[in-house]
Copies of this chain bind each other. A is one copy, B any other.
Amino acid sequence: MDILPALPFIPILEIIGTFVFAISGTLTAADKKLDPFGAGVIAFVTALGGGTLRDLLLNLRPVWIQEEHLLITVLASVVVAVLFRRKIVKFRRTMFLFDTAGIALFTVLGMEKALRVGVSPLIALVMGVVTAVFGGVVRDILCNEIPLIFRKEIYATACLAGGGTYLLMRLAPVPAGIPMGVAILIIILVRLLAVKFKWSFPNLNP
Contact = CB atoms under 8 A, between A and B. Distances in A.
Contacts of A174: none
Interface stretch (A10-18, A103-111, A141-149): A141-149
A132 B60 CA distance: 23
Contacts of A56: 56-57
Nearest to A145: B144
A88 interface: no
Contact of A68 (B29, B30, B34, B120): B120
Please tell me how many copies of the chain the complex holds.
3
A30 B119 contact: no
Contacts of A33: 151, 203-205
Contact of A57 (B39, B65, B200): B65
Given A120-B68, A204-B36, A59 B57 contact: no
